[in-house]
Structure 1
Amino acid sequence: MTRIIALANQKGGCGKTTTCVNLGASLAVEGYSVLIIDLDPQANATIHLGIDIHKLNRSIYDVLIQGEVNVSSIILDTPLERLKIAPSHINLSGAEIELVNTIGRERVLKEAINPIRDVYDYILIDCPPSLGLLTLNGLTTADEVIIPLQTEFFALEGMDKLLKTIQIVKEKLNHNLKITAITPTLFSKNTRLAQEALKKIATHFKDTVTTTIIRRNVKLAEAPSHGLPITLYAPSSYGAVDYKRLAHEVIKR
């Protein structure tokens, strides 16, 4: 059965897209078929996987706005055989305005992916850093949510609003939605601030927090500019090790 997981956090710079791409890549390396749906108008997941957005004929924007465009027609290969992506484009930045008067506007993505829902073992949705209509589509489509949370002083800022949004979606739009994991990211073990933030996250969210902590890593930061996931760019780096561990943990949850 396909697991559909939205990666969401309205706070930018928390490692959301990095986690989406590298978790997806790590699952693919483990032998699972994975589709990433890039719902972020910044298209960072698309770019991270080596795709030139300026050469795209179609993207997830066309699927959401032009109902006759089949999602399977936009799916592209990535450097990993088992990892595919439904790419984003800057055009998506106007999608929320264009969708606002659409009947069932929160369910457009869910209906669009129905034909491919059972094709993949995992579908990962990279939501934009906001709580707007695109994120609502991601949450309405998904069965699970993973929240990457940066280990910093303001780590919990905005979490109440995100959790409330997830609860509202669960009550009104998607009764099956659950938070599978909260994953600490960008962790620097040598800084007291990061240690304190990690302790606060663990105390606040308890068992929902993954045992895997994504450490701050230069290779992780470099990988997007090479158009590669960390599993291919630096397979022995801390980043690759951490995301492999996270993949194993997600598989078991």
Structure 2
Amino acid sequence: QKKLLDALSGPVQSILETGERDSWASIRRLYRRETEHIILTFSDSLSEYELDQTTSVEMVLELREHARCTVVKKAREEAGNILIRMKGRFSTVLSHDKDLMPRTWIANEDIHAITREARLAALRLMSVMAAVRLDDKPDKIDRALMVSLLDGGPLCWKRSIEFTSDPLASTTWQEVLRLILCSLWFTRHGVRNKLEHFMFVQVSPQDTLITPVQCKSIWRQFKAETEYPVAQAILMQEAHRRSNNSLPPAWTILVLAILGFNESMFLLR
């Protein structure tokens, strides 16, 4: 069990801290590889003892369960720090460009688009941490969170979907299986059709790390605590624009550079 703890705990934490979309795929590969390796070694050591088959199988199953519990425990610890992780991810994306260079907030920076990109990165991090995914079952937590929480979502969702109830007003992801009344506008034909759309999230309560209603609460707190850096960016951009407007025309600067101050003043007279 100590070997399993050492082989899984640290690497699982490192993977979850990255918050990439394939984080759980990486964790599954790690979990299966390390678990099978240690179980094989353990089974070989059991052969030295005269144990019946039932006892050996039970011990192996116990070891496998311990491996799973190790991963789940570490995931729960990381989920408890999700707000801090989200704010860190938001700050990184907001204040650095794609080349990881600090933003200067000059006039041509689209602060609204950058803010949305930073929030999306934070939201995806929360979707990774919302549930344990060791069984490789598909879910739509990422989609559910984007539709329910992210401002300025896809145009088709914003204009055409009417939710019969709040998709995140639930304590389990299983309850996110709900009927959503969609109103789809077909602009080509000018016809409005209604259809039933199911959003299915296959996550059991046992595998839930952050419930839907907790996600909503965390997101509300996250937005409140990240408004200040956005406001600062807007102020810096406005200050940059004002400083540019206070400069003399470009042709004046060019004349000064070529003729000098005295000659330029003589021409202006």
Shared fold, TM over 0.5: no
| TM-score, normalised via structure 2 length | 0.21
Q: Which has the greater radius of gyration?
A: 2
More helix per residue: 2
Larger RCO, structure (CA 8 Å, separation 6 or more) = 1
TM-score by length of structure 1 reads 0.22
Higher strand share: 1
